[in-house]
Amino acid sequence: MIMQRAFRSGMRRQRGVVLFVAMIVLVVMALAGVAMVRQSGSGLSIAGNLAFKQSATATGDYGTEAALNWWMPLRGTAALDNDLPAEGYYSNWGAGGTARLSGDPSTYDWNTLSKKLVADDGTRANNEVSYIIERLCLNPGMNPEDPAQICVKTPPKGGADQSTTTQHYPLSAGEDRLIVHYRISTRIVGPKQTLSYIQVMVR
């Protein structure tokens, strides 16, 4: 009789331990499930953000092309000797103490300096595109050929004659003719405030 009572008491204790262990296992499994759901959600969020970033960067080509289409017909004319803020164009690289002098587009005042475009990149991502064109010269409102002007210039390439005079004729070895450089900066603002910047140099 005593043996039976001891056996039953041991069974009850074992049942209590099994219940306790089962509860711990259930809690651990629940925590693991929550962690997996959160990790899966984070992965989807990261993938979505990367897609927004890629879309914004691809849309930047639209802004660069629009800037080039405006600039190309005016290249080499006196129209580019003066600032045209409404078109996002500036005839110098920025005065001392201004953000444009650094050349870092993330520091520019895009709300007041840029030309804003409405881009339709086919993705319905509602990207906002803006561009700023800067002539890489020291003084605004001055012709690049003025002796007091300082510009970033290089000789032409691609078989073009570098000379504007006949002193080098018939050779094309002169370096009298130099071409001014321009910097086109494009900013793209996408969904969730995704920001991308593109800069190209043209001449």
Share of the chain above pLDDT 90, in %: 31
Q: Which residues of the chain fall below pLDDT 70? A: 1-16, 39-58, 118-126, 157-177
pLDDT for the residue numbered 88: 94
Measured CA to CA, the distance from residue 58 to residue 66 in angstroms comes to: 14
Measured CA to CA, the distance from residue 99 to residue 29 in angstroms comes to: 55
pLDDT for the residue numbered 62: 82
How far CA 95 is from CA of 65, 79, 137, 169, in Å, comes to: 27, 20, 10, 40
pLDDT for the residue numbered 163: 47
pLDDT for the residue numbered 124: 47
- Name the nearest CA neighbour of 181 among 147, 144, 139, 146: 144
